[in-house]
């Protein structure tokens, strides 16, 4: 354990941080009554470590409750028209998947999509390399191959190369690197998506690749908290268990602790059952206990995490859909403490917005929690710069 801790400290000292993102839009304030006056909790929500009181209050005051809710949603899209419609409905981000028309990557299409709404939208993709590659021309090796054949410095250079390519296409968020620790065979659910079965190696290479993405102008998101590498199966197909929390603390959580300490990245939570952590019937993506573990750091030796927490896909995973509809899962994930609920189509977008707005009205999702999440997302895409 001590060698991992020492190595993490050295890596943090060596890792540079470069921020990027769209600038604040010159959008007129909303004409709704809710938007004309700041929320009574806006000032509290906008302050944080190293930030002045009231940071972000003006941004929050421009948004109605429904517009704030939209900022916490990210949907997969089929083509440019689908993406523009979603952004005009107020979503905070769109996801470009393997099913999306590849023409969106050219001609400034995604840049235009991002600007189609009141607040610039995140444009996200899964570009891990290897078999999880979505960006034309990325030519990126799998994580396991990268760690086997490249130095840490070269891994950062690869992240920068791919990051620059993605930025040129209008992509602003990459759901990578994979920080799972795994000895699974290459073609298993995690397998070669993991850098190594050694948490120290995973920590070094995932941080280097994330730093490279930032160098290239793209926001990295580590996944799949609290660790999918020793999973019992594939959450696309049903419920998935991993070792108990005590075991995860000794191995799987170490790269995430290093990532949180380094900062300037998001974290994606998987759909896992963790003995000693998750509540009965709830995967980690819908689990308040899991969100508290990540947010506070208490229990696995990490500092408080104040970046955005993303869910894994809430619509294509039987670990979730066997029990909940998409609108239910979206609302439950945000109530649990996630900042961005992700799913892979726009057909239930209106129903999901309605479900979350109802959660705010009922108090299940408090106004303060809503404002906190909106500001975390806004800072990640530089719509708020304090």
Q: Give the integer Cα–Cα distance in Å for 144 and 237.
A: 24
Please identify which of the residues 236, 306, 354, 382 carries the catalytic annotation: 236
End-to-end CA distance of the chain: 36
The bridge status of strand 309-311 relative to strand 341-343 is unpaired
Task: Judge whether 368 and 374 are in contact, CB under 8 Å.
Answer: no
Instruction: Please count the other Cβ atoms lying within 10 Å of the Cβ belonging to residue 60.
Output: 23
Task: Judge whether 35 and 58 are in contact, CB under 8 Å.
Answer: no
C-alpha closest to that of 156 among 212, 214, 116: 212
- Cβ contacts of 50 within 8 Å, gap of 6 or more: none
Backbone angles phi, psi at 205, to 5 degrees: -75, -40
> Given its phi and psi angles, is residue 21 left (phi above 0), alpha (psi -120 to 50 degrees) or beta?
left
Q: Give the integer Cα–Cα distance in Å for 126 and 278.
A: 26
C-alpha closest to that of 119 among 353, 321, 342, 382: 382
- Cβ contacts of 321 within 8 Å, gap of 6 or more: 314, 315, 329
Please identify which of the residues 174, 312, 339, 372 carries the catalytic annotation: 312
Q: Which residues share a beta bridge with 383?
A: none
Instruction: Please count the other Cβ atoms lying within 10 Å of the Cβ belonging to residue 106.
Output: 11
224 assigned to active site: no
Q: Give the integer Cα–Cα distance in Å for 76 and 98.
A: 10
Q: Give the integer Cα–Cα distance in Å for 219 and 229.
A: 23
236 assigned to active site: yes
Q: Which residues share a beta bridge with 222?
A: 267
Q: Give the integer Cα–Cα distance in Å for 328 and 9.
A: 40
- Grouping H, G, I as helix, E, B as strand and the rest as coil, residue 290 is helix
DSSP 59-103: HHHT--HHHHHHHTEEEEESSHHHHHHHHHTT-SEEEE-TTS-GG
Instruction: Please count the other Cβ atoms lying within 10 Å of the Cβ belonging to residue 36.
Output: 12
Give the residue numbers marked as catalytic.
Answer: 236, 312
């Amino acid at each position: 354990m001590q060698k991992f801790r020492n190595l993490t400290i050295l890596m943090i000292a060596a890792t540079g941080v470069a921020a990027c993102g769209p600038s604040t839009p010159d959008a007129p304030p909303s004409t709704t009554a809710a938007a004309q006056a700041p929320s009574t909790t806006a000032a509290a929500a906008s302050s944080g470590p190293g930030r002045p009181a009231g940071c972000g209050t003006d941004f929050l005051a421009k948004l109605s409750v429904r517009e704030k809710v939209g900022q916490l949603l990210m949907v997969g899209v089929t083509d440019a028209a689908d993406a523009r419609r979603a952004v005009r409905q107020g979503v905070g981000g769109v996801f470009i998947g393997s099913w999306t028309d590849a023409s969106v990557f050219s001609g400034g299409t995604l840049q235009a999509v991002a600007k189609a709404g009141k607040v610039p939208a995140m444009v996200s993709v899964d570009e891990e390399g290897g078999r999880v590659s979505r960006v034309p021309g990325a030519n990126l090796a799998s994580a396991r191959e990268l760690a086997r054949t490249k130095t840490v410095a070269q891994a950062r250079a690869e992240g920068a190369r791919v990051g620059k390519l993605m930025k040129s296409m209008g992509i602003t968020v990459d759901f990578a690197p994979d920080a799972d620790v795994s000895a699974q065979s290459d073609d298993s659910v995690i397998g070669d998506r993991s850098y190594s079965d050694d948490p120290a190696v995973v920590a070094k290479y995932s941080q280097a690749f994330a730093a490279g993405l930032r160098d290239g102008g793209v926001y990295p998101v580590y996944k799949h908290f609290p660790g999918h590498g020793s999973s019992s199966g594939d959450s696309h197909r049903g419920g998935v268990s991993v070792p108990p929390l005590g075991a995860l603390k000794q191995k799987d959580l170490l790269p995430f602790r290093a990532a949180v300490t380094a900062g300037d990245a998001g974290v994606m939570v998987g759909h896992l059952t963790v003995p000693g952590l998750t509540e009965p019937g709830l995967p980690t993506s819908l689990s308040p206990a899991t969100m508290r573990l990540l947010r506070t750091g208490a229990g696995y030796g990490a500092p408080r995490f104040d970046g955005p927490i993303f869910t894994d896909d809430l619509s294509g995973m039987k670990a979730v859909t066997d029990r909940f509809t998409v609108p239910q899962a979206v609302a439950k994930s945000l109530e649990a403490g996630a900042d961005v609920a992700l799913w892979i189509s726009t057909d239930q977008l209106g129903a999901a917005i309605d479900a979350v707005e109802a959660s705010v009205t009922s108090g299940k999702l408090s106004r303060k929690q809503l404002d906190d999440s909106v500001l975390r997302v806004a800072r990640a895409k530089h719509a708020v710069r304090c």
